[in-house]
Amino acid sequence: MTTRIAILDDYQDVARRYGDWDSLDAEVVVFTDHHDDIGHLEPFDVIMAMRERTPFPRERLRRLPNLKLLVTTGMGNAAIDTDAARELGITVAGTGGTPTHTAELTWGLILALARQIPEEDARVRAGGWQQTVGFELAGRTLGVIGLGRLGSQVARIGEAFGMHVIAWSQNMETSLTKEDLLRRSDVVTIHVRLSERTRGLIGAEELALMKPTAYLINTSRGPIVDEDALLAALHNNAIAGAGIDVYAEEPLPPDHPLRTAPNTVLTPHIGYVTDASYARFYEDAVEDIAAWQRGEPIRLID
């Protein structure tokens, strides 16, 4: 029987452009819209998930009796219950990725806030001219929460801008505390994985420590920051603003209060959405499926 493959959450409708799906002996169906229910996926043997756009906990996996292979972009996906998949006989495979995409977006958000780029762009288009005064980064303090691969890249760019860089994470041996970092930083940027230790890492108490002139950037995962506390801080001018790419609920509901929050630059979780990363994701996904069809699965995730 022909293998049936579902490609999920292809928002930009580009999966066929970046991967050679025609090389597979399979029927490929692309879903460009997000679906909360997964009933439409029951007939498929293979599912390709884009990051954590569609979660696969145990109860969902149980509802997919034909599923044999679940491919996710990247080599880890917190939204997939890999233990349940293994128990149900579902192979989980991943892909490679590119190392710089989220660091680049982080700096896009920092610069957009510091120089009020969205506001001034809108003013020019409306027939107006300059009105804001920019926040110069040189000589300011950049606080990096999480100094792994991405955090280190962001830190190096901060140094290139002439910023003083300080860093903290739960895994670092340093005399600097999280509280010290929050008090001293002019820009705080988050680069840690979402886990039980980091969920709610930045809440009302932490935001209250920040300077009223400071900016918060989150390109990691939404639940790391308490959204209610952030909204309160923004409306009370407790911080100067926030650049946000990730949210507790995605896609962000149309009536979510962050959409109208002051002093914000919002992007729709596009930190990893680049031509280079999509090419790697979809090319590797095709390779994963071809290997699985041969009975020689690769890039397995336990």
Q: Which residues are catalytic?
A: 221, 250, 269
Q: Are strands 46-49 and 91-93 parallel, antiparallel or unpaired?
A: unpaired
Q: Give yes or no for a contact between 261 and 232, defined as CB atoms under 8 angstroms apart.
A: no
Q: Give φ, ψ of 189 to 5 degrees.
A: -125, 140
Closest of 210, 94, 102 to residue 154, by C-alpha: 102
Q: Give yes or no for a contact between 215 and 241, defined as CB atoms under 8 angstroms apart.
A: yes
Helix (H) / strand (E) containing 62 = helix 58-62
Closest of 276, 268, 283 to residue 53, by C-alpha: 268
Closest of 45, 71, 66 to residue 56, by C-alpha: 71
